[in-house]
Amino acid sequence: MNYIKGRGADGNPQNRYDPLFVDFDHIDAPRTQFFIDHSRSIVARNDSPDVGFTYSLNPYRGCEHGCVYCYARPTHEQLGFSAGLDFETKIMVKKDAPALLEKTFRSPSWQPQVVALSGNTDCYQPTERRWKLTRSCLRVFLKYRNPVSITTKNALIVRDLDILTELAREHLVHVNLSLTTLDNRLCRILEPRTSSPQRRLEAIARLSGAGVPVGVMVAPVIPGINDREIAGILSEAAAAGAQNAGYILLRLPHGVKELFVNWLRQHFPDRANKVVHHIQSMRNGQLYECEFGARKRGHGPAAEMIQRLFELSCRRLGLHQTLPPLNTDAFLRHPEQAQLEL
């Protein structure tokens, strides 16, 4: 396959659930298609011991950002699509997300707690400009005073500063900006439809300046590609106003392994084998392991060195603190009644 400008994947690998597969030798630059997702619920429950949230909300399935390393790509196979180009060109839009979220909050069974916005795919991916589902969901979070934690790599989030500022006043929101590299060239081939590193830093500055608690996620850390940037990324993020930081080691589940290795050989042929060996040294000889805890940090001396560098840099820059706690006591199951009382 040849590199397709503006896309992360170079093709569509076989769906692991589908015994039939047609391999096309050439794919012209595909256009993004949008499909309405008629989900009847919107808040998903998670019981993974190494994920910091129980409930999450994703307004979209698939992601136009096209990050070649995205661990969420295999979820598209459950829809009959591929983890490759399909994931970034066939986007499922949950147009009823705001109404379904409101229904959730009004249910007697809902106990107020933090909901992660973007537990899987990015809630501020480019199509959010058109559909505005994330913005509408934020209005619901504010209306019912339910706390929300947002993770994104798109500077589009500053569009919603008006709502985010109101949420922050009530201690109802955290934001984490994902920043993988400071190198514009690497950004364009690694995560082709995301915001530039500079625009993400500017977004951190604007959020922080507006009083919105904001952190930075160095994710993923890719040995031999961006691991040397850790200290620089953290320094720039701290200068912009980030209050804390986290990182995740590269994860390559299922078909993402093939996509990422193909990407390496296309863009970094001189070091592709070395990068693969680095990854395997942190994954007990494999390209991926699903063991809880270890899947985010890895094993061995190289993984420990990355963790040590990250922790030292955070302490030096004051990024080792946690963001202020979110408030669940302000929750309103029937906001219209509260308005009448006022």
95 burial type by CB count under 10 A (0-12 exposed, 13-18 middle, 19+ buried): middle
Report pLDDT digits (tens) over 180-197.
999 999 999 999 999 999
Cα atoms found within 13 Å of the Cα of residue 19, Cβ hemisphere only: 0
Q: Are 246 and 215 in contact (CB under 8 A)?
A: yes
Report pLDDT digits (tens) over 84-107.
999 999 999 999 999 999 999 999
**Residues near 106 by beta carbon (within 8 Å), at least 6 away in sequence:** 144, 333, 334
Report pLDDT digits (tens) over 249-278.
999 999 999 999 999 999 999 999 999 999
The whole-angstrom separation of Cα 336 and Cα 88 is 40
Q: Are 132 and 173 in contact (CB under 8 A)?
A: no
Q: Specify the pLDDT at position 46.
A: 83
Q: Specify the pLDDT at position 295.
A: 80
Q: Specify the pLDDT at position 18.
A: 61
Is the per-residue pLDDT at 52 higher than 90? no
Q: Are 242 and 317 in contact (CB under 8 A)?
A: no
Q: Specify the pLDDT at position 27.
A: 55
Q: Specify the pLDDT at position 24.
A: 47
pLDDT band at 19 (very low <50, low <70, confident <90, very high): low
pLDDT band at 51 (very low <50, low <70, confident <90, very high): confident
Report pLDDT digits (tens) over 274-291.
999 999 999 999 999 887
- Is the pTM higher than 0.85? The answer reads yes
Strand partners, 117: 57, 150
Is the CATH code 3.20.20.70 the one for domain 34-242? yes
The two three-digit tokens of residue 208, written as one number: 């922080």
pLDDT band at 30 (very low <50, low <70, confident <90, very high): confident
* E strand spans, the chain: 33-36, 43-45, 55-57, 60-61, 90-93, 115-117, 148-152, 173-178, 214-221, 244-249
Is the per-residue pLDDT at 74 higher than 70? yes
* E strand spans, 192-277: 214-221, 244-249
Q: Specify the pLDDT at position 338.
A: 66
The whole-angstrom separation of Cα 194 and Cα 17 is 29
The whole-angstrom separation of Cα 75 and Cα 92 is 12
Q: Specify the pLDDT at position 20.
A: 45
Calculate what percentage of the chain has a pLDDT beyond 90: 83
**Residue extents of the structural domains in the chain:** 34-242
